[in-house]
Structures are given as C-alpha cells and as structure tokens.
Amino acid sequence: MRSQSLATHALAFVVLFATIVSAAESTSKDTTNESPIDRVKWQKGPSSGALGNLAQIKVPEKYIFAGGEDTQLLMEAMQNPVSGRELGFLAPEKAPWFIVFEFDATGYIRDDEKGSLDAAAMLESIKTGNEEGNKERAKRGWPKLEIMGWEQPPHYDEKSNNLEWAIRGQSEGRPVVNFNTRILGRGGVMRVTLVTGPEGLAAILPQYKTALADFNYNSGHKYAEYRQGDKLATYGLSALVVGGATAAAVKSGAFKWLWKFGGVAVLAALGFVKKLFGRRKTNDMPT
C-alpha cells in the first residue's frame, strides 16, 4: 500500500483526531483552520462507488464511501503518506473498521506461484524491511512498529483471483492487525486493506468479505480478459505480499530488503474513524 507505517501510540492519535473530528463537526463557516476532513465529499449507501475507471464496489445501506481524491485527504488526516494510487474508502457508519482501495498498474501478474507460497520466508523479509520502515517513522517523529507474526498466512483463491493475508504487529505495546486482499486484474492489482483492531477481526471478517463480494472490475479490466501482448508484471504472488510494486527487486536479488508493509500504517487511525463515524447519528451522515 505505502512504504511508511502509521501504527503509533493511541494517545497521540486520540489528541490529533479529537481536533480533526471537532473541525469536521463544526458548523462554523470560518475556513482559516479548515481540516482535510472538511473537504471530503461523502457518498452514502445504498449506491455504487466508482474506483476510478477500473472497478465498482457496492456501498451497502448504512455504509459510506469516498472516492480517490477524498481518500487521499483522509489518509493525510491520519498522517498516512499518500501513495497517489488511492481509489476509494469504504466504511460502516458506526463500526471501528474501514477499507482502503488502491490500484497498482503493474501489468498482468501470473499466479503460477499459487502452490509454492513460502510464508516463513516472506515473514522474514517483511521483518527485515520493517527495520528500514522504522527509520523513516523515526524521521517523521512516529513511534516504531514491531512485526509479531502472521495473523493469517498468505492464501490464494483461484476462483476469485484474490490473494489474502494478515499480519499482527505491535506499536508501543499496543497490538495492531493488518488484513490485506489483493485482487488481480488484467492490467495490475487492486490493493484492498482492511483496517481494524485485533480483538474485532474475527467478527468483522465476514462483513468485510461480504463487502468485497460486491467488487467487480469493469469490462476490459478483468483478470480473465488477459490477451497475448498485454503488459506483464515483473514479479509474482510472493512479491505482492512483501513488496508490491517495488518487488521487481526480487529479480535482482534484493528480495530481503523490500519493506513495504502494505497498510499496517492506517491501523492506528481506528480511534479517529470511531470518533468520526460513531459520534454521528445515521441521519447526520454526510450525503
């Protein structure tokens, strides 16, 4: 998802997000100290959310959706470095979890590694890379993130062309879980990150998977529509887990130094989302 992670101390986020939420709920017309949240254009369900011109996701009743530019505003408000590939943000109105959609135009990713995914090797690569990530977090004044292990090892579903995995981390003694789905398409991969706390993951996963069941690539962008001559990605499924778009380094022997941790970054933003959405009544949600 992005190179740097934002899993930081909860208290710091409570202070930050209390300020943001206050700005978001303010009725003042003074825009001198306008928060990025104030500029988000929300789409309320039931409706269909456009993920650029590549795909659609159904927005169920009592869910909200934001498009690509607005998702970037949300990421910035959460102190999450923007990748420029954000296409959408989906969340229930009153639940402490959300989904972020990004697309990497890598070209067609072959799934010939589906029977040989080495979870242990991938985890070691992620841990090594995270050490580099912690150097960047330190530069930004953010607490470090520790990788504790797999919450769910990588698994590929041939029918849906979805690759899924979950990593358990820890920031300043507080656990975080990052659940990832990668949906292969004709021209690249849709990066889907579920952001939730570890204690609620089991209960939320069915809702998350139900939401993703209503994801569809637009005609011409589906994985099965690959044609001879299409651009091919320079890496496969294993590299998606540890490095994403920068994983071409696998080909040059730099596999162990890949350090993109695919979205644990936004986990610490859960306090913000809970405050932003949980304090609003349904009929107060933005339209």
Helix, strand and coil percent figures for the chain, each rounded to 5: 35, 30, 35
Q: Is residue 4 part of a domain?
A: no
5-23 pLDDT, tens digit each: 333 322 223 333 333 333 3
The fraction of the chain above a pLDDT of 90, given in percent, is 39
Q: For residue 27, is pLDDT > 90? A: no
Confidence of residue 36 (pLDDT cuts 50, 70, 90): low
**What pLDDT, on the 0 to 100 scale, is given for residue 34?**
62
Which residues does residue 58 pair with via DSSP β-bridges, in sequence order? Answer: 48
Average pLDDT of span 225-252:
72
Q: Is residue 101 part of a domain?
A: yes
Check residue 75 and report its DSSP letter: H
Q: Is residue 48 part of a domain?
A: yes
Q: For residue 262, is pLDDT > 50? A: no
Average pLDDT of span 140-155:
87
Cβ-in-10-Å burial (0-12, 13-18, 19+) of 99 comes to: buried
**What pLDDT, on the 0 to 100 scale, is given for residue 280?**
40
Q: Is residue 175 part of a domain?
A: yes
Full-model pTM = 0.74
Confidence of residue 217 (pLDDT cuts 50, 70, 90): very high
Q: Is residue 3 part of a domain?
A: no
Q: Is residue 5 part of a domain?
A: no
AA identity, residue 1: M
C-alpha to C-alpha distance for 189 and 105, rounded to whole angstroms: 7
Full domain range(s) for residue 61: 10-284
Are 145 and 126 spatial neighbours (Cβ–Cβ below 8 Å)? no
The domain total for the chain is 1
Q: Is residue 123 part of a domain?
A: yes
Closest CA to 88 of 214, 200, 206: 214
